[in-house]
Amino acid sequence: MRLLLDAGNTRVKLSWMSLSAQARAPVVAAFGYDEMAGLGAWVAALPERPLEVWAVGVVDSARMVQLEQLLSAASGAQTAAGLPVHWQHSQMYAAGVRSEYLPSHALGPDRWAGLLGVAWNERRLAGNSLAPVLLASFGTATTVDALLPSEAQAADEYVFPGGLILPGVQLMARSLAQGTARLPEEAGVTRNFPAQTRDAIATGVAAAQLGAVWRQWRRIEQSSSRAPARLYVTGGAWPALEAEALQWFEPAQIVWLASPALDGLACLARQKQEAGH
């Protein structure tokens, strides 16, 4: 068994896959950084002892070491070196996706793994007849990334031309509370014409988030010979945005993914195993 781990800004997500599997297990566990004991207990309760970990992270090296030590202890690693953890970095090409980001290593590894995971999920839905897709990740920060079918390369290859980064839902709301004298940081709901301050903030934030997504959707329509097929969404802030998203997109256009980054890690691990490394 191999563990799959995505160490984000506020939470760690985990899943697992057997060494012979083509995809990860459907379960996704998530733990805040103040819940590391729970993470260790989850790993210790797995049906098999993991032999390795494939991981991406936006955390610093000290946090990576902490996670490595925790995973080794929880898994009962038998060697002095502990449980092998393979931290992944962004590349120019992997798993049928070519990156045009400059420089390629500057792309966040979690974004790269997420794109690989979306490409894998889209191939499952569409086969080899690939259409452009968009991935919107609503976490601490929001990212909106496009995948376009390659015009010059193999028909089943995607190109990542770039994407957007903007403050996430909570960061937007918090900035209003901290940067103004009278605007509160309170939960509101989205409305067509908000008549209360908390709803005005919630609606404004949601409109900004979905406006960024819609901008990229329209850019795909304008620059590609094929219209976008699907909007893939992920991240903890999605429930706060879903109602607003349905004002912009048809329900059939939206596909929720619990963790495309973990799907991408599964692709990378499988690719390396198939290559005999």
DSSP H helical ranges for 151-275: 169-179, 197-223, 238-245, 260-274
The reply to whether the predicted model has a pTM over 0.85 is yes
DSSP 253: G
Residues 96-153 have pLDDT tens digits of 999 999 999 999 999 999 999 999 999 998 876 889 999 999 999 999 999 999 886 5
Contact between residue 53 and residue 24 where contact means Cβ atoms under 8 Å apart = no
Q: Domain extents for the chain?
A: 2-87, 117-260
Q: Assign 203 a pLDDT band (cuts: 50, 70, 90).
A: very high
* Amino acid type, 108: G
Binding residues for substrate: 108-111, 197
Q: With 60 as the cut, is the pLDDT of residue 277 above it?
A: no
Tokens found for residue 230: 């699907």
DSSP 275: T
Q: How many CB atoms lie within 10 A of CB 33?
A: 16
Q: Which of 60, 110, 145, 199 is catalytic?
A: 110
Arithmetic mean of pLDDT over the chain: 93
Residues 50, 48: Cα–Cα separation, whole Å: 6
Mention the CATH class of domain 2-87: alpha beta
Contact between residue 96 and residue 122 where contact means Cβ atoms under 8 Å apart = no
Tokens found for residue 194: 């908000």
- Specify the CATH superfamily of domain 117-260: ATPase, nucleotide binding domain (3.30.420.40)
Q: Do domains 2-87 and 117-260 have the same CATH topology?
A: yes
C-alpha dist (Å) from residue 259 to 27, 54, 179: 10, 14, 33
Binding residues for ATP: 6-13, 140
Tell me, yes or no, if 110 is annotated catalytic: yes
Residues 64-77 have pLDDT tens digits of 999 999 999 999 88
